[in-house]
Structure 1
């Protein structure tokens, strides 16, 4: 005898299937978000209270090009820079001014990460002027720069965003980087990302 499938049972089966599908999607997305948030969280070392604005970086979204460009365009230009912020902006300018904004942000975030790592000086100038770290620094001095140029002004804004941790870079957590043209081979370091012409490691 062939079982009779009523209209009511079809509706009930369809409803059950919809509940199962939406439940699976919801839990999967939730679990994936938690894993992504943990994987993208920067390594923060307690005890460095000199840069409190970066404390919320764990919850900051990863930068995307359009959002970063929008933030750079909207960020008010800082009129007077502290020496420490000038060091951070100079590193971004001299190391990455020809890179896209996300590449500039990644360089800035490396310097911020170094100040919090416990392995490098705890100020931006200390990190940037540390011997044998940045080729553009000669005799512990920063080169002169045209502070009226658009390129410098962008570097200043990116430095502010990197300092505040408003956006994470795709290379978040990296402490080192080199040009793709460099002969450096850092096999003992963990490669984090390549952004434009720089390779980032931790």
Structure 2
């Protein structure tokens, strides 16, 4: 199934089976049967640029080494740790991937995850993964300051955790590099942004 300032206020909010999402400025965790969406309301917030990643230097080096050896994104995902012990920041990132792109290709999930990472580093959005995900009117699956529950035993969640680690470390390139926004491919908002790519069910912009 299927991540993401005031450009279009209250424009669109569509989500299909956890895969479609609109990111203007616009995802921890819903039952698999819940449909989610993004609200396309870009918001510009000058915030302190604080690093959001939680991995250590050793972790980063290990991931980069794994990336060089893997050769494919699938192999790199398989090389990620399988334990579910994530920091709160990484759970926010994995949750966004899970709710916005679960069921999509690994490339599609990574593109969504990198939007959250890119925003946290842009200086235009909150400077942490949880800040980006919980920013008002951005991710429709978020309710106030909480997420629905995730099916932590599912393959979708295991993939989301692995992709979150890869997105956080930047150990594999996204097919929509530097993207800050995305929306479901089935809608056509009139955004005055630079279109970067369509990856699976989402169109990404800078």
Sort the TM-score into its range (normalised by shorter chain). 0.5 to 0.7
Q: Distance in 2 between matches of 1:50 and 1:74?
A: 23
Does the alignment pair 1:72 with 2:74? no
- Which runs of no fewer than 5 residues in structure 2 stay unpaired? 1-47
Count of matched residue positions in the alignment of Structure 1 and Structure 2:
150
Runs of 4+ more than 4 Å apart: none
Report the Cα offset of residue 161 of structure 1. 0.3
2:53 to 45, 51, 54: 51
**Deviation per residue, 1:139-195 (Å, 9 max, x gap):** 221111110111101100000000010011010100000001124221x10001100
Cα distance in 2 for residues equivalent to 1:151 and 1:142: 16
Counterparts of 1:106-145 in structure 2, within 5 Å, are: 106-145=111-150
Post-superposition CA distance 1:32-88 (Å, at most 9, x none): xxxxxxxxxxxxxx95444386x99xx9xx9xxx70111111212133111111110
1:195 equivalenced with 2:195 (yes/no): no
Larger relative contact order (Cα-Cα within 8 Å, sequence gap ≥ 6)? 2
CA contact (8 A) 1:91 1:128 kept: yes
Structure 1 unaligned regions, length at least 5: 1-45
Cross-structure match for 1:167: 172
| 2:95 corresponds to | 90
What is the TM-score normalised by the length of structure 2?
Answer: 0.67
Q: What is the DSSP-based 3-state SS (H/G/I as helix, E as strand, rest coil) of the residue aligned with 2:189?
A: coil
Work out the CA distance in 2 between the residues paired with 1:160 and 1:195. Answer: 20
Q: What's the secondary structure of 1:199's corresponding residue? A: strand
Kept in 1: contact 2:50–2:128 (CA 8 A): no
Change (3 A) 1:94 1:158: same
In structure 2, the residue matched to 1:185 is 190
**Alignment partner of 2:72: what SS?**
helix
User: Equivalents in 1 of 2:189, 2:163: separation in Å?
Assistant: 27
Deviation at 1:196, TM superposition (A): 0.7
What is the CA–CA distance in structure 2 between the aligned matches of 1:162 and 1:153, rounded to whole Å? 14
| Distance verdict in 2 for CA 1:52–1:157, change over 3 Å | closer
CA contact (8 A) 1:131 1:140 kept: no
C-alpha separation in 2, matches of 1:76 and 1:103: 21
CA distance in structure 2 between the aligned counterparts of 1:198 and 1:177, rounded to whole angstroms: 6
Q: Over alpha carbons, which structure has the higher Rg?
A: 1
The structure in which a higher percent of residues are helix is 1
Q: Per the alignment, in what secondary structure is the counterpart of residue 88 of structure 1?
A: helix
Measured after TM superposition, the shift of residue 138 of structure 1 is 1.5
